[in-house]
């Protein structure tokens, strides 16, 4: 797993830069031993990019990888000519439906596995670089109140367990908690107890069993 890092320092890839925020993010990577994915504002000039590169070179643990994305989510379907690989699941399913969890496991996850295989073959056949993704998770329609209830259902934990088993090497969860509405977070809020956050519980279980958690 890796951490995402908005190089603008917050507020989206066009936000106001903040060196302090970047230093905090880089420090977290070094302490946890996780690779970093940064987004660089598309309006950044050469000096901005050079200074950012120098900061990362001089601060990030050299054993860690740094992935760079120009702008933010230009692969998203709202952009023309997008070619996305964000392995989220369930955006076409009905939140609150009795069979929604079974369909996530037996339909949505296998569909994503096939997509990952197809795109991975395309990527690895044309470049020596390995394919990675930087976000994913359940994507039930977040404007539906029933989607929020589904997040606390223990069956969602089983969905995440199946998802990690299917494509953990290509998966980074989006995100720790919900900070902008919706139901993407491992928790709905920082104060959620683990028994009310099945996604968080399974992600932590997986991370600990795969030695991906480093205590400071």
User: Are 105 and 201 in a shared domain?
Assistant: yes
Q: Which of 28, 60, 78 is the last residue of a domain?
A: 78
Which pLDDT score is estimated for 15?
43
Q: Which of 78, 101, 124 is the last residue of a domain?
A: 78
User: Are 64 and 89 in a shared domain?
Assistant: no
User: Are 28 and 55 in a shared domain?
Assistant: yes
User: Are 155 and 113 in a shared domain?
Assistant: yes
Q: In this predicted structure, which of 50-54, 74-78, 157-161, 200-204 has the lowest mean pLDDT?
A: 74-78
User: Are 29 and 69 in a shared domain?
Assistant: yes
Q: Which of 16, 45, 78 is the last residue of a domain?
A: 78
User: Are 185 and 144 in a shared domain?
Assistant: yes
Which pLDDT score is estimated for 75?
63
User: Are 95 and 43 in a shared domain?
Assistant: no
User: Are 55 and 92 in a shared domain?
Assistant: no
Asked whether 82 and 88 are in contact (CB, 8 A), the reply is no
Which pLDDT score is estimated for 211?
67
User: Are 40 and 114 in a shared domain?
Assistant: no
Confidence of residue 150 (pLDDT cuts 50, 70, 90): very high
User: Are 135 and 28 in a shared domain?
Assistant: no
User: Are 142 and 169 in a shared domain?
Assistant: yes
Which pLDDT score is estimated for 18?
54
Whether the predicted pLDDT of 8 surpasses 70: no
User: Are 95 and 199 in a shared domain?
Assistant: yes
76's tokens: 């998203």
DSSP state of 74: T
Mean pLDDT, residues 107-114 taken together: 92
Task: Tell me the per-residue pLDDT of 36-95, one tens digit each, with 9 for 90 and over.
Answer: 888 888 888 999 899 999 999 999 999 998 888 887 776 666 655 555 567 788 888 999
Distances (CA, A) of 116 to 5, 74, 181: 23, 19, 28
What is the 3-state secondary structure of 173-199?
Answer: CCCCECCCCCCCCCECCCCCCHHHCHH
Confidence of residue 123 (pLDDT cuts 50, 70, 90): confident
- CATH code: domain of residue 60: 3.40.50
Mean pLDDT, residues 91-107 taken together: 93
For the entire predicted model, the pTM comes to: 0.74
Supply the range of the domain harboring residue 103.
Answer: 85-216
Whether the predicted pLDDT of 202 surpasses 90: yes
Number of domains in the chain: 2
């Amino acid at each position: 797993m890796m951490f995402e890092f908005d190089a603008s320092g917050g507020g989206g890839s066009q936000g106001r830069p903040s060196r302090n925020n970047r230093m905090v993010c880089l420090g977290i990577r070094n302490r946890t031993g996780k690779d970093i994915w940064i987004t660089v504002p598309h309006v950044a000039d050469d000096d901005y990019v050079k200074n950012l590169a120098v900061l990362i070179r001089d601060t990030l643990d050299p054993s860690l990888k740094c992935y760079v994305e120009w702008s933010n989510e230009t692969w998203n379907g709202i952009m023309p000519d997008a070619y996305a690989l964000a392995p989220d699941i369930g955006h076409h399913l009905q939140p609150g439906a009795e069979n929604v969890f079974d369909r996530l496991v037996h339909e949505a996850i296998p569909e994503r596995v096939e997509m990952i295989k197809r795109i991975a073959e395309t990527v690895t056949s044309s470049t020596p670089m390995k394919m990675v993704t930087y976000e994913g998770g359940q994507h039930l329609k977040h404007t539906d109140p029933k989607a929020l209830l589904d997040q606390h259902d223990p069956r969602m934990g089983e969905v995440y367990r199946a998802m990690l088993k299917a494509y953990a090497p290509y998966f980074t969860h989006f995100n720790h908690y919900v900070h902008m509405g919706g139901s993407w977070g491992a928790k709905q809020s920082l104060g959620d107890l683990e028994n009310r956050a099945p996604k968080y519980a399974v992600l932590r279980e997986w991370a600990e069993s795969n030695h991906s958690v480093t205590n400071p």
